[in-house]
């Protein structure tokens, strides 16, 4: 899985010589899995043709705030909402000055004001311009507002001088954008995720399974890792690449998943049970391939252990998050499962009729005791990041409550 999978990056290009590097940056961002839309200032189009960026990004390039056709296709507010991150590379001294003053006199500056997404700027200019107190003050102001600064690098400049003000190289920019997406919110926290289907063998060549692709669980594992957690992923058979820096434990059956999850759970802070575990298995699988007979075949199935419920019933359970795949009565069924399995949170989604399993997109209704949140249809990578945000908030709240209770008990004792 790539580092920027399904991340929507709005790349702003302003008018400087280094604008040519944005073409390569667009390619690199897409190579890392991002979806890229480009917005250029009028000056930028003097340095590099919008058509080049259109071809490389695979999307129309936006240049004009008052372009009726472009606004009809995707208006500036929609673009601002669409973005998971806004990256301005190169950012000229003039653009930085406009940004620091909150001007909205072209499409790009308007978008920067209108977006709630993180803003990253990669300055590129002559060293005197960079070192000028006016620019330095503008940069300091932007950083104080939470804008991330990428570079600039020092070295030979287009004007023939040497010094700070060079745009970072495209791959350096891509890596800096990847690291800017990482947080430390779950530093020191261990997260266990179960994912994918299980296979319950009937004989050596046949098994019962389901349509789970494992994508949601893998995306949750990655989002937790990006948030700084130490992540273990217990995975049924899937055709997905292991997420970077995540320990993957491969299993096949519900029984194996049960053993691996329960072995890891006591040392886990947060458990997310996204696996589509078979509820039934054949018990004794035939040792040899079963031969076809004239009569119908009756399969007797026994229940598998409910892994999630067992983890939630541990003496010192982790913060436990279940999933509920429902074809009907989503709210009621999910809330029932939250209670009956004694969970901290449940993420419910509709399945069947082309929804849920084996799809790129999904929508979730997240419930916990005393609250809920709806996550609208989005790629599973994005949903997973949003879900992990909710888990972090609830996990922190629960930890604080527990600390409080321990303190009260200590005082009483």
- Catalytic sites, residue numbers: 159
Q: Tell me: does residue 147 bind ligand CTP (CB under 6 A).
A: no
Task: Give the pairing type, strands 270-273 and 280-281.
Answer: unpaired
**Structure-token pair, residue 44:** 């930028």
396 CB contacts (<8 Å, ≥6 apart)? Answer: none
**Structure-token pair, residue 165:** 């003000």
Q: Tell me: does residue 306 bind ligand CTP (CB under 6 A).
A: yes
Cis peptide upstream of residue 56 (ω within 30 degrees of 0): no
Contact 344, 390 (CB under 8 A): no
What string of DSSP letters covers 325-347? EESS-HHHHHHHHHHHTT-SEEE
Distance CA 195, CA 67 (A): 46
Region 243-262 residues binding ligand CTP, contact defined as CB under 6 A: 254
Q: Compare residues 9 and 375 and give the one whose CB is closer to ligand CTP.
A: 375
Q: By rule CB under 6 A, what string of x and - marks binding of each residue 334-373 to ligand CTP?
A: ---x------------------------------------
Q: Compare residues 89 and 307 and give the one whose CB is closer to ligand CTP.
A: 307
Pick the binder of ligand CTP from 192, 324, 375, 392 (CB under 6 A). 324
Q: How many residues bind ligand CTP (CB under 6 A)?
A: 15
Q: By rule CB under 6 A, what string of x and - marks binding of each residue 88-127 to ligand CTP?
A: ----------------------------------------
Closest by CA to 319, choosing from 264, 387, 271, is 271
Region 190-219 residues binding ligand CTP, contact defined as CB under 6 A: 194
Region 27-66 residues binding ligand CTP, contact defined as CB under 6 A: none
Residue pointed to by tokens 């419930």: 367
**Structure-token pair, residue 267:** 């040392």
Residue pointed to by tokens 């250029």: 40
Pick the binder of ligand CTP from 275, 338, 366, 375 (CB under 6 A). 275
**Shortest separation between residue 239's beta carbon and ligand CTP, angstroms:** 20
Question: Could you list the residues that contact ligand CTP (CB under 6 A)?
Answer: 194, 254, 273, 275, 277, 279, 304, 306-308, 322-325, 337
């Amino acid at each position: 899985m790539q580092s920027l999978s399904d991340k929507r990056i709005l790349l702003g290009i302003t008018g400087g010589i280094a604008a040519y590097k944005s073409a390569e940056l667009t390619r690199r961002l897409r190579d890392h899995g991002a979806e890229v839309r480009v917005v250029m200032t009028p000056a930028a189009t003097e340095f590099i043709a919008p058509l080049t960026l259109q071809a490389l990004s695979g999307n129309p390039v936006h240049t004009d705030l008052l372009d009726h056709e472009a606004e009809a296709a995707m208006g500036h507010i929609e673009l601002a909402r669409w973005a998971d991150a806004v990256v301005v590379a190169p950012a000229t001294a003039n653009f930085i000055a406009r940004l620091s003053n909150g001007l909205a006199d072209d499409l790009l500056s308007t978008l920067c004001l209108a977006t709630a997404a993180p803003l990253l700027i990669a300055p590129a200019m002559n060293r005197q311009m960079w070192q000028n107190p006016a620019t330095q003050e503008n940069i300091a102001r932007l950083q104080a507002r939470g804008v991330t600064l990428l570079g600039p690098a020092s070295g030979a400049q287009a004007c023939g001088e040497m010094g700070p003000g060079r745009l970072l190289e495209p791959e350096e920019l891509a890596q800096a954008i990847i690291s800017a997406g990482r947080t430390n919110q779950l530093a020191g926290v261990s997260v266990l995720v179960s994912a994918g289907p299980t296979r319950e063998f009937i004989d050596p060549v046949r098994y019962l399974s389901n349509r789970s692709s494992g994508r949601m669980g893998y995306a949750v594992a990655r989002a937790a890792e990006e948030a700084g957690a130490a992540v273990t992923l217990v995975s049924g058979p899937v055709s997905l690449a292991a997420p970077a820096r995540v320990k993957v434990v491969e299993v096949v059956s519900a029984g194996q998943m049960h053993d691996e999850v329960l072995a890891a759970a006591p040392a886990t802070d947060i458990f997310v049970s996204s696996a589509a575990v078979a509820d039934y298995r054949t018990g004794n699988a035939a040792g040899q391939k079963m031969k076809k007979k004239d009569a119908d075949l009756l399969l007797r199935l026994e229940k598998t252990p409910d892994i999630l419920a067992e983890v939630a019933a541990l003496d010192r359970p982790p913060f436990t998050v279940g999933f509920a795949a429902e074809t009907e009565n989503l709210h009621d069924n999910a809330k029932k499962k939250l209670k009956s399995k004694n969970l901290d949170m449940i993420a419910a989604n509709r399945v069947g009729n082309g929804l849920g399993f084996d799809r790129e997109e999904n929508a979730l209704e997240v419930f916990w005791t005393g609250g809920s949140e709806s996550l609208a249809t989005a790629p599973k990578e994005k949903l997973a990041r949003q879900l992990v945000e909710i888990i972090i908030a609830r996990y922190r709240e629960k930890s604080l409550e527990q600390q409080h209770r321990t303190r009260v008990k200590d005082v009483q004792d």
